[in-house]
Structure 1
Amino acid sequence: MPTRPRTVRRPAAPAPALTRTQLVGIGLGVVAFLLPLVVDVPGLDDVGERMLAVFLLAIVLWVTEAIPLVATAVLVIALEVLLVSDQALLAVPEDATPYPTFLGALANPVIILFLGGFLIADGAEKYRLDKNLAAVLIRPFTGSARRTVLGLMVITALLSMFMSNTATTATMFAVVIPILGALPEGRPRAGLALSIPVAANVGGIGTPVGTPPNAITLGALGEAGYHVSFLDWMVMAVPLMIVILLGAWLLLALLFIPAGLGVELDMQASWDTDRKAVTFYVIAAVTILAWMTEALHGLSANVVGFLAVVALLVTRVMGGEDLGRLSWPVLWLVAGGIALGDGVAATGLDAWILGLFDWNAMPALVVIVVMGALGLGLSNVISHSAASNLLIPLAMGLATGIEGLEPVTIAVVLALACSLGMSLPISTPPNAIAYATGEVSTADMAKVGIIVGVVGTALLVLLMPPLWAALGLV
C-alpha cells in the first residue's frame, strides 16, 4: 500500500530579539497602564480611570512601537471589552458601553470602504493598470528634467489618491529607477528620488481612501453623527493637495534640478485585454465614478466600496488569494483607532483630558493652529495612523465645547496635518523606500520635509477652514 509522502516542516525562524527601545517601551507601557489603576485620579470614576490606563498604554506602545502597531490596536479593543464594556471583568455601571460597540469597530463602514479601496488598488497592480497609466500620463512631460519630475509627481499623487501611499511609491520607483540612471549623480538624482514620497504623501490626502488618517477621521465623524461624502472630502482636500504639490515641485526644482537639464524617456504601455482585465477596468471606473457622485445616486461611499468588493469577487476578477494579500494590519489599525475614540468618548475621558487646559479661553483659530501643529509634529516621529488615532478622538471632544469650532473642521485639519509629516526616513514608508535607494541624504529629506510640512500646514490651518465654511462644507 503506497504511503503518503511526509511533509518536511522547516523549523520556524526564531523571533528577532527585542531592541532596547522596545524593552523600554514595554516597561513604560506597563507603568503607564498601572498608574491610573492604583492612583486615584480626581474627576474620573473607576471606568474612566480604566479607560485612561488603556489610552496611556496605547500612546506609549504606538510612540515607541514596542510591539507592532496593529498589535496595539487589537490590544486596545480587547482591553476596552474587558475593562469598560458591559462584559467587563470588573464592576461597571448598568449603562456601560455594549461590547459590540468596540468589537464592531473591526467591521465599521469605514473599514469596508477601505477594503474596497485596497482591493481595487491590488487589482490595479495585478492587471498592470498602475504602470500602464504611468506610461501614458508621463508622455507630455518628457524632455526637460524639471518637467519630467513634475509629471512623475502628478502621476504619483493621482495614484496615491486611490492606492496606498506605500504601494504607489513602490510602483513609481519601478518606473523611476531607469530615469535615475539617466541623470547626473548627486543633487538631480536626490531631487527625483525625493519627489516620489513627497507626492505620495501629499496625494494621499485627496480622497477618503487615500491614506488611513482619512479613514480614521471619517470613522470618528460617523460615530459622532457627521457625514462627509466622498466628493465633499475631495472638494475640501484636493485644492490644498494641488497647491502643496506644485509648491513642493517648485522647491525640488530650485534646490535639486538645474534649469536646462534634459532627460529622455522611452516608456510603453502594454494593456491587458483579456476578459478579467477589461472587467476590472470597468468595475474600477464605475466604483470611482460612484464614489464621486454620491449626491446623485444616494449610495454611501461605504456601500459603494462593499459593492465593488462583491463585483470583483463574483466576476472572479479577484479571488481569495487576492483578499489574503490585502493590508489587513492597516485595516485593523484603523479599527483600533475607531474603538479608542469610542471608548474615550463613552467614558467621558475626552472631557476630562480637555478639562486639564483652558481651551475655552482660546479663539477657535488658535485651537485649530495648535492642533494642526501637534498633528504635524507628532506624525513626523510616529506613524501617521498612530498620530491620528491618538489626536482625533481628543479633537472631536474639544470641538463640542468651543464656540465657533466645527467638529468636521478640526477633524479634517488634523487628518490632513498628520499626512504632511514627512521630514525623516522613519516618518512614512514612502520616505523609507526613497531613502533605501541611496540617492537621498537624511539632511535633504529633512530640509524638504520640514518646508513642505510647515508651509502646507500653515496653508491648511489659516486658509482652508474659511474656504470650507464659505462653500458650506462645514
Structure 2
Amino acid sequence: MSTVTARPRVRLPRLTLVQRLGLLLGSIAFLVPLLIRIPGLEPAGHRMLAIFLLAILFWVTEAIPLYATAVLVILLQVLMLSDQALVGGAGALPPAATYFATLANPVIILFLGGFLIADGAHKFGLDRSLAAVMLRPFAGNARLSLLGLMIITALLSMFVSNTATTATMFAVVIPILAALPAGSARTGVALAIPIAANIGGIGTPVGSPPNAIALGALEAAGQGISFIGWMLLAVPLMVVVLLFSWWFLSRRYIAADTPMSLELSADFDRSPAAMIFYLVAGTTVLLWLTEPLHGISSSTVGFLPVVALLATQVMGAEDIKRLQWPVLWLVAGGIALGAGIGKSGLDVWLLGLVAWETLPLTLMMVLLVGVSVGLSTVISHSAAANLLVPLTLSLAVGLPIDPTAVGVMVALACALGMALPISTPPNAIAYATGEVPTSEMIVSGVVIGGFGALLLALVMPTLWGVLGLL
C-alpha cells in the first residue's frame, strides 16, 4: 500500500496588537478623505490623501510587510488615480503605466545591479577576503584595530547592503570578540560594526534604500544626480561621522591597553568564474565612478553586471532568487507614492497647511533632519524615506532651498536613526550577539546620530554651496 505524504500546512503569521491596530486605523484613515469633503483639496487629492494616510499607518505599524504596503500603494494608485480608475470624477488622470513603470524605474535597475554584485561578492568570498587583507595594517593596537574594523565595514557597506556587510563582518570579528575580556571592550567592538555599516551606507547611491528613494524622487523632479555626484555630497559627511564614532566608541569602551588580535587569512577564489566576476564588478564600479567622463548613466551601468554575469553563467537562477526583491519593491512603492503626491496636487495642499516661509532657513533644516532621524529610529529607514522625501521635495519648490540638497539631506538623515535594536537590521544583528545592552545602543545611537544630524543640518549645506556641488 502506498503512503501519501501529507502536504505541510502553510500557517499565517500571528499579528501583534500593534499590527492589528495598524490595520484598523489604516483602514479608517483610508476611508475618511473619501467620505469627507476637505476644503481646498481636489478630488484626486482626496484619493491620494487616502492612500498616503494608509501607507503611513501601515508602514509605521508594519501591519503588513513593508514591501506589501509598497505594492498596495501602486495598485491603489492604478485603481483610483489612473486612466483605469474604477470611479471617475477626478479629472484628467495619468496612464496606469505611470505607476507600473516605477517597478522598472532606472533607480530600481541601478539597485538591481548593485544587489547582484553584492551577492556575487559573498558567493565568491570576496567580501571576507578583502576585509582580511585591509585589516592587516591595523593590527597591534586595540583602538587602531577598532578603527580598521569600522573603516572596512563602512567601505564594504558603500557597495554591499548594510545587513549583508554586518553579517559578514560579524563572521570576521566573532573570534576577536571571544578573545577579548568580557565587558565594555566587547560591547564597543560589537557596536562598532552596525554603526559603521549604517554610516557607510550613505556613501553611494547603492549603499542603502533611502539613497535610491531620494535619487528616484529627484530624477522625477528633474534634479538627477550622478553616482559620483552623490559620493561627493555624502562621503565627506560619512568620513567625519565615522571618525567621530570611532573616537566616541574607543574612548567609552576600549581601554588603551586592551589586547586585540587580528590574525585573519585571505583566501581569494581564483576559479574562472570568480575571475570573470572580479572583472565585471571592477568594471562596473569604475564606470560608476567615472560617469562624468563617459556620460553613461549609473542605471545603465548598473544593468551591465546583470547581463554580463547571467550571460557568462557566472551567476544563475538561484542567485537571482536570492536578490533582495522586497527592497526593490519597497523603493518602487516610494517612487510611486512621490509621483502620486505630485500629480494629484496633494503636495501643494499639505504644504499650504503651514506657513513655512515664516520659519528661519536654519531652523527649517534642523527640523527636516531632526524629524527624519527621529522617525527612522522607530520605523524602517526605507519607510521613513518613502514618507518624507516626496513631501520635503515639494516643500523645497516654493522656498529658497535647493531641492537636491533637501532630498539628499533627508536620505542621509534617515541613515542616522540607529539608537534602538529595531532601528536597523545591523543593530538587530549586533543586539543578537548578547554583547550589546539596549541602554548602550541608545547612548551611542543618540550621541553619534545627534552629532551627524547637527553636522548635516548646519554645516553640510554651506559646504556643498562653497564647493559648488549644488
Matched, 1:141 2:138: yes
2:438 to 416, 432, 442: 442
After TM superposition, the structure 1 stretch with the greater mean CA deviation from structure 2, 85-94 or 22-31, is 85-94
CA distance in 2, matches of 1:47, 1:6: 59
Residue identity matched to 1:16: P
Aligned to 2:180: 183
Aligned to 1:362: 359
CA distance in 1, matches of 2:410, 2:4: 52
1:409 to 402, 405, 418: 405
Residue identity matched to 2:192: S
CA distances 1:378-428 after superposition (whole Å, capped 9, x unpaired): 0000000000000000011001101x2010000000000001000000000
Quote how far apart the aligned CAs of 1:94 are: 5.0
2:263 to 266, 282, 307: 266
Decide whether the 8 Å contact of 1:169 with 1:433 is kept in 2: yes
CA distance in 1, matches of 2:107, 2:146: 34
Aligned to 2:448: 452
CA distances 1:286-319 after superposition (whole Å, capped 9, x unpaired): 1001000000110000000011211111111111
Decide whether the 8 Å contact of 1:86 with 1:92 is kept in 2: no
CA distance in 2, matches of 1:257, 1:450: 19
Quote how far apart the aligned CAs of 1:93 are: 4.5
Quote how far apart the aligned CAs of 1:260 are: 1.4
Matches within 5 A, 1:79-228: 79-93=76-90, 95-228=92-225
Matches within 5 A, 1:26-37: 26-37=23-34
2:243 to 208, 225, 246: 246
* SS state at 1:206 partner: coil
Decide whether the 8 Å contact of 2:420 with 2:438 is kept in 1: yes
Decide whether the 8 Å contact of 1:114 with 1:209 is kept in 2: yes
Aligned to 1:396: 393
Q: CA RMSD in A?
A: 1.3
* SS state at 1:147 partner: helix
CA distances 1:30-55 after superposition (whole Å, capped 9, x unpaired): 11101111111111122110100000
CA distance in 2, matches of 1:397, 1:454: 26
CA distances 1:168-215 after superposition (whole Å, capped 9, x unpaired): 000000001000011010110000000000000000000000000000
Quote how far apart the aligned CAs of 1:472 are: 2.1
Aligned to 2:429: 433
CA distances 1:114-165 after superposition (whole Å, capped 9, x unpaired): 0000000000000000000011001011111111111110000000000000
Decide whether the 8 Å contact of 1:84 with 1:92 is kept in 2: no
Q: 1:239 to 1:39 in 2, by over 3 A?
A: same
Matched, 1:275 2:272: yes
Residue identity matched to 2:444: V
CA distance in 1, matches of 2:219, 2:232: 19
CA distance in 2, matches of 1:198, 1:387: 18
Decide whether the 8 Å contact of 2:161 with 2:208 is kept in 1: yes
Quote how far apart the aligned CAs of 1:226 are: 1.1
Quote how far apart the aligned CAs of 1:264 are: 1.7
CA distances 1:416-451 after superposition (whole Å, capped 9, x unpaired): 000100000000000000000000000000000000
The gaps in structure 2 that reach 5 residues or longer are none
Aligned to 1:19: 16
Aligned pair count reads: 470
Quote how far apart the aligned CAs of 1:337 are: 0.2
Aligned to 1:381: 378
CA distance in 2, matches of 1:264, 1:28: 53
Residue identity matched to 1:378: L
Residue identity matched to 1:105: T
Decide whether the 8 Å contact of 1:221 with 1:227 is kept in 2: yes
Decide whether the 8 Å contact of 1:161 with 1:203 is kept in 2: yes
Q: 1:351 to 1:94 in 2, by over 3 A?
A: closer
Residue identity matched to 2:55: A
Decide whether the 8 Å contact of 1:375 with 1:414 is kept in 2: yes
Quote how far apart the aligned CAs of 1:6 are: 8.9
Aligned to 2:315: 318
Q: TM-score, normalised by structure 1?
A: 0.97
1:424 to 420, 423, 431: 420
* SS state at 2:202 partner: helix
After TM superposition, the structure 1 stretch with the greater mean CA deviation from structure 2, 364-373 or 386-395, is 364-373
* SS state at 1:122 partner: helix
Q: TM-score, normalised by structure 2?
A: 0.98
Residue identity matched to 1:452: I
Residue identity matched to 1:26: L
Quote how far apart the aligned CAs of 1:12 are: 2.7
Decide whether the 8 Å contact of 2:33 with 2:46 is kept in 1: yes
After TM superposition, the structure 1 stretch with the greater mean CA deviation from structure 2, 37-46 or 393-402, is 37-46
* SS state at 1:67 partner: coil
Decide whether the 8 Å contact of 2:185 with 2:253 is kept in 1: yes
